[in-house]
Amino acid sequence: MRALVYHGPGQRSWDTVPNPTIQLPTDAIVKIDTATICGTDLHILKGDVPEVKIGTILGHEAVGTVVETGAAVTNFQIGDHVLISCITSCGSCRFCKEARYGQCTGGGGWIFGHLINGLQAEYARVPFADNSLYKVPSGLTDEQVLFLSDILPTSFEVGVLNGGVRPGDTVAIVGAGPIGLAAVMTAKLFTPARIIAIDLDDGRLGKAKEFGADVTINNSAEDAVKRVLELTGGLGADVAIEAVGVPATFELAAELIRAGGKLANVGVHGKPATLHLEKLWIKDVTITTGLVDTSSIPQLLSLIQGGRLNPTVLSTHRFSMDQAMEAYDVFADAAKTHALKVVLAGTAVPVETKPKVAARSSA
């Protein structure tokens, strides 16, 4: 089959590789129908995620069709149309029992395109298929559900739910990339009084307005703290969501919250940030961090089915999977191309489906 393969920092190619096979009875093989690229894939290509081995197929967000199931897979059958979560769940470790799938210690967690081959390919092996796949409700398109693999649950769980957004709140979201924009969309579910989006890029702030932000602040042109204080009668935001991942934006988010406020950090940080305890100790604040669990996928699917959430607005470019190299170029040059999410349509020619197979004893 063909797949997008990581060959070390700065190097990727669209290669011919062996088709995945069932290795454990809990595995399924899924034909990838639709996939997308994540900012995290770009981090990997920059060499920021050294545990990704050369030769790994990238990608952790996709929708597909089950073409083969291991002997222990009972919830899914050949032909099922499925959303593949970016987080795999073993279903039996302490954290999976608490629905903290991101922290799985039984072989799951974030493994696709990281510790095992990923989903920007014609086919993929999905470990712990019973716990890690979600049936796509009939009537919904791939593109309607695709961003539930990762970014919608990330913004919702790690941003909006950890931040405890409540009706009437002022929510400040620092960063208006796909994650910040998905935070705007999912914060709205709780009817905050005001959503303030902060970014350096006017194009992205325009999108934030389109997706439901009430106020936008370009913090390269104006003092975001001053403006938020003005808007909140000098108190500060009830909730600040950090959706960038650099020290300056974490420190900004900490300055934006009122006494008793909450800072939900979503950004992936590569450098230490300063926690100004000399200012914060007295303010009763709560700071949360986290990796997405994707435990909210069923809830988000219901919201899409009910017409309350429309993630397709995040798609800006469409390619076929065999144009993945070009799609990466467009996605990586977002300042110029204005890309948010690029959608890759699968190119696998449907194969004859195979019956359930038992695990290989040597696996």
Ligand X SMILES: NC(=O)c1ccc[n+]([C@@H]2O[C@H](COP(=O)([O-])OP(=O)(O)OC[C@H]3O[C@@H](n4cnc5c(N)ncnc54)[C@H](O)[C@@H]3O)[C@@H](O)[C@H]2O)c1
User: How many CB atoms within 10 Å of residue 78?
Assistant: 15
Phi, psi at 348, each rounded to 5° = -65, 135
In angstroms, the CA 24 to CA 17 distance is 20
Considering only the stretches 8-16, 137-145, 170-178, 301-309, report the one whose residues sit in contact with ligand X under the rule CB under 6 A. 170-178
**Under the criterion CB under 6 A, does residue 113 sit at the interface with ligand X?**
no
Chosen residue from 62, 145, 176, 213 binding ligand X by CB under 6 A: 176
Chosen residue from 28, 32, 37, 38 binding Zn ion by CB under 5 A: 38
96 binds, among ligand X, Zn ion, none (CB under 5 to 8 A by kind): Zn ion
E strand or H helix at 194, and its extent?
strand 194-199
Q: Tell me the two tokens of residue 231.
A: 């808007």
Considering only the stretches 28-36, 232-240, 263-271, 314-322, report the one whose residues sit in contact with ligand X under the rule CB under 6 A. 263-271
Considering only the stretches 90-98, 116-124, 252-260, 316-324, report the one whose residues sit in contact with Zn ion under the rule CB under 5 A. 90-98
Chosen residue from 268, 313, 345, 351 binding ligand X by CB under 6 A: 268
Cβ 241 vs Cβ 171: under 8 Å = yes
**Under the criterion CB under 5 A, does residue 212 sit at the interface with Zn ion?**
no
Chosen residue from 23, 103, 219, 299 binding ligand X by CB under 6 A: 219
Q: What angle do the packed helices 224-231 and 247-256 form, to 10 degrees?
A: 20
**Under the criterion CB under 5 A, does residue 266 sit at the interface with Zn ion?**
no
In angstroms, the CA 106 to CA 104 distance is 6
257-265 and 286-288 as β-strands: parallel, antiparallel, unpaired?
parallel
User: How many CB atoms within 10 Å of residue 141?
Assistant: 11
The residues binding Zn ion (CB under 5 A) are 38, 40, 90, 93, 96, 104, 106, 108, 150
The residues binding ligand X (CB under 6 A) are 39-40, 150, 154, 158, 174-180, 198-201, 204, 219, 243-246, 248-249, 266-268, 290-292
